[in-house]
Structure 1
């Protein structure tokens, strides 16, 4: 009797597992399609697949580039906030997200140690210089040859209020 039950249950369990995997993957693709549709309607889309830094910094707007990946829990936690802020700050600030799991070339030239990591730039394309009162663990990267400040970054999760504080210092008014 036990073998008979296993012969019936095994194909059913395999079917359920395969069906669950298919459903999960299909759902993931739907979310990505929806995000791409939202991206197409925005002047400055959140999700990027290529990065031309001089062009991005030449737009005359402050810029935040967030590097992350789908497998990263803090990155997933920040995702809704980034989507909201990108929509709210259109035309006043450029906020982009670079998925380095899908598009690893996007990280070339950036000193990434962990994800998420955010890089901030002023509207003139220069690296953001935080005020002395800023206590968010921002790192300044300096060119070894020239000793010139090249990048300002934050490693780890930033909350909405923290991002808005930085945006204000970058000269961007509230939404």
Structure 2
């Protein structure tokens, strides 16, 4: 028998105690990871990349639990090119706090299907719960709110035309982003 600080341990006791300690350590690690929602781990599958070129999996993006802005525009549209550096800067600065996407609707028309886009640029916003953003004052923020024809449920919140950095940050701030 071994003696550790005055306590006698048998081999049988060690066979029980070691797996128990391992299980407690695994449980503690799981608890800490699941209870702490921040920081968001940014994956390598391009979910946080600004430019969308192949598919726009909105359900996957909503699963991150972050506010989302999708800007539908074109590389050759003047207001869109004016917004491009702002989107790039905010995507880098707010990475892990929000998701910002840009879709060139002239190059990738199919990615805009199902969204209420009549002019470019048009931005669509979702809150951290994956629901369409509901602005406090839609008129003042120049937001349009769309409902589903079938269910009458709020389906989209959009802004048509260019947005400044300050306008975008104001929307994100209203959604709880610091």
The residue aligned with 1:88 is: 93
With structure 2 as the length reference, what TM-score do the two structures score? 0.72
Structure 1 unmatched ranges of 5 or more = 1-39
Residues 52 and 43 (structure 1 numbering): CA distance in 2 closer, same or farther, change over 3 Å? closer
For residues 124 and 138 of structure 2, what CA distance do their matches in structure 1 show?
Answer: 19
Q: Find the aligned partners of 2:169 and 2:52 in 1 and give their Cα distance.
A: 22
Matches within 5 A, 1:19-38: none
1:51-90 pair list within 5 angstroms: 51-90=56-95
Moved over 2 A (4+): 40-43
Q: CA deviation at 1:97?
A: 0.4
Query: Alignment partner for residue 171 of structure 2, among 145, 166, 170?
Result: 166
Give the CA deviation at 1:137.
1.1
CA–CA distance in structure 1, aligned partners of residues 69 and 126 of structure 2? 7
Deviations along 1:150-174, whole A, 9 cap, x unmatched?
000000001111100001011111x
Q: Kindly report which structure 2 residues correspond to 1:92-103, keeping only aligned pairs within 5 A, or say none.
A: 92-103=97-108
Q: Deviations over 1:115-142 (max 9, x none)?
A: 0000000111000000137612100000
Say which one has the larger Rg. 2
Partner residue of 2:49? Answer: 45
CA distance in 2, matches of 1:48, 1:42: 9
Q: Which runs of 5+ in 2 are unaligned?
A: 1-43
The answer to whether the 8 A contact 1:74-1:156 is kept is yes
Aligned residue pairs: how many? 134
- Cα displacement (A) at 1:41: 10
1:4 is aligned to: none
How many angstroms does 1:102 deviate by? 1.2
Q: How far apart, in 2, do the equivalents of 1:161 and 1:171 lie?
A: 15
Cα distance in 2 for residues equivalent to 1:117 and 1:133: 15
Whole-angstrom distance in 1 between the partners of 2:73 and 2:138: 27
